[in-house]
Amino acid sequence: MERSVDDIQYILTAALQAPSGDNNQPWQWVVRDLATLELYYEPGPQTTDSVFTSASDYVSLGAACESACIAARARGYETRLEPFPREKGERCVAVLRLTKHSQESIDPLLRCLLTRATNRNPFKRTSLTTAQRAALRSSLDQTPTVTLRLCDDRALMRKIAKAVSVYDELIFGNYAVHQGFFSTINWTKQQDRLRRKGFYYPTLAAPPHVELAFRLLRYWSLQRLLNVFGMQKGIAARNRRVYMSSGAFGALLMLGSTPHDYFEAGRAVERFWLTAQLNGLNLQPMTGILYLGASLQAPDKARLFTPAERARILEANRSLADAFATDSATLPFVFRIGTGPGPRFRTSRRPPDEVVIWAQGMLDVR
């Protein structure tokens, strides 16, 4: 069967729509030939200068890879994945080998690849149906190392909301987290189109009347002053109310915490998220506190926090581990989920010519 450049472009267009922490899109694809795609980790300043280590980036890379696989199968390819091939160097996360068949295999998740989006609006509190729960569970069948916990007990949800909102409080209460967060915001459509990374402000779904105040809060000296009156706590409390307006909270659990483990979890995240969307559910990850917890292992990141802040981050992570009964497993992903209107705005993506490298002569194959 014929392979074509058009197929590869189709596959990569899907892969570039994958979700990523802070929309930092930490990837680069190399098209070695029409049967071989290589995925490389490209840590941007958002990782090197940020309060986070690379754990979240590996989840994003896994999500991108899974999207590519779904799109490839829809074009009639069998996919074989070699994760972390040593001979390709440290930054190579996966080699995806494509074999063309006569049969196209349309995964129902395909139609959600280009429409999936993070929804930060309040959802309905309606519980998930049995069918929705079953679909979400079976979306993880292909990744036996990753398991799902769903929680709709309101008391336990309050405990989880309290733990994840420690991150929100630190966005407005800790200098490094504050600077990192505000550096990701694109305030205007024009800025967003130019940068194609980070958040277009309306995707944050903040109430319309707070935009001016929000813009001013990027000045740390003003923020610090307002914190004397407890502003950071007020914002965290408001976010907890939004989180609580959900049908359920959930977490994915995995054994281990290597880059490879996070990458495999990312593949599961993408299938899970697309399945949620296919079943009429909205999803917002709530992961900041998890990745801050992971960052405390790195001395250069840990010193960005006061001892009291470090203790709070650790306590919040313990509380999540307890709420989701993780035992000795790691939590790579925590989220809220529920029905309700979809998101009104979308983030941008880096253009293919910035992110995809074609081996010499490849584009002449057409």
Ligand X SMILES: Cc1cc2nc3c(=O)[nH]c(=O)nc-3n(C[C@H](O)[C@H](O)[C@H](O)COP(=O)(O)O)c2cc1C
Q: Which residue, 37 or 290, is less far from ligand X as judged by CB?
A: 290
When CB distances to ligand X are compared, the closest residue is 19
User: CA torsion 60→55→311→223, rounded to 10°?
Assistant: -50
Q: Which residue, 121 or 129, is less far from ligand X as judged by CB?
A: 121
111 to 140: interface string for ligand X, x by CB under 6 A: ------xx-x--------------------
Shortest Cβ 51–ligand X spacing (Å): 13
Q: What is the helix, strand, coil percentage profile of the chain, to 5? A: 50, 15, 35
Shortest Cβ 199–ligand X spacing (Å): 6
Sheet containing 77-83: give its strands across: 77-83, 92-100, 36-41, 27-33, 356-358
Residues present in the chain in total: 366
Q: Which residue, 79 or 118, is less far from ligand X as judged by CB?
A: 118
| Residue 19 interacting with ligand X (CB under 6 A) | yes
Of 66-74, 153-161, 230-238, 285-293: span binding ligand X (CB under 6 A): 285-293
Q: Which residue, 59 or 177, is less far from ligand X as judged by CB?
A: 59
| Residue 287 interacting with ligand X (CB under 6 A) | yes
| Residue 288 interacting with ligand X (CB under 6 A) | yes
| Residue 59 interacting with ligand X (CB under 6 A) | yes
| Residue 56 interacting with ligand X (CB under 6 A) | yes
Shortest Cβ 143–ligand X spacing (Å): 15
> Are β-strands 356-358 and 27-33 bridged in parallel, bridged antiparallel, or unpaired?
parallel
Give the separation between CA 366 and CA 364, rounded to whole angstroms.
Answer: 5
Q: Which residue, 41 or 77, is less far from ligand X as judged by CB?
A: 41
Question: Which residues have a Cβ under 8 Å from the Cβ of 254 and sit 6 or more positions away?
Answer: 145, 146, 147, 261, 262, 264, 265, 329, 330, 332
Q: Which residue, 217 or 265, is less far from ligand X as judged by CB?
A: 265
For 202-262, the DSSP string reads GGG---GGGHHHHHHTTSHHHHHHHHTTTHHHHHHHHHHHHHHSSSEEEEEEES--SHHHH
Shortest Cβ 35–ligand X spacing (Å): 28
In the chain, how long is the greatest CA-to-CA distance?
68
| Residue 23 interacting with ligand X (CB under 6 A) | yes
Hey, what are 18's tokens? Answer: 């994958």
| Residue 285 interacting with ligand X (CB under 6 A) | yes
| Residue 50 interacting with ligand X (CB under 6 A) | no
CA distances to 34, 95, 274 from 91, in Å: 21, 12, 27
Q: Which residue, 76 or 250, is less far from ligand X as judged by CB?
A: 250
Q: Which residue, 74 or 334, is less far from ligand X as judged by CB?
A: 334
| Residue 347 interacting with ligand X (CB under 6 A) | yes
Which among 250, 223, 208, 246 is positioned nearest to 169, based on CA atoms? 223
Residue with tokens 């989920």: 337
Shortest Cβ 347–ligand X spacing (Å): 4
Give the separation between CA 185 and CA 143, rounded to whole angstroms.
Answer: 34
Q: Which residue, 47 or 284, is less far from ligand X as judged by CB?
A: 284
Shortest Cβ 56–ligand X spacing (Å): 4
Q: Which residue, 56 or 79, is less far from ligand X as judged by CB?
A: 56
Shortest Cβ 15–ligand X spacing (Å): 13
Chain positions 172 to 211 lying near ligand X, rule: CB under 6 A, are 199
Give the separation between CA 111 and CA 267, rounded to whole angstroms.
Answer: 17
Number of residues that bind ligand X (CB under 6 A): 20
CA distances to 35, 161, 190, 351, 353 from 194, in Å: 33, 35, 6, 11, 14
Footprint of ligand X (CB under 6 A): 19-23, 56, 59-60, 63, 117-118, 120, 199, 284-288, 346-347
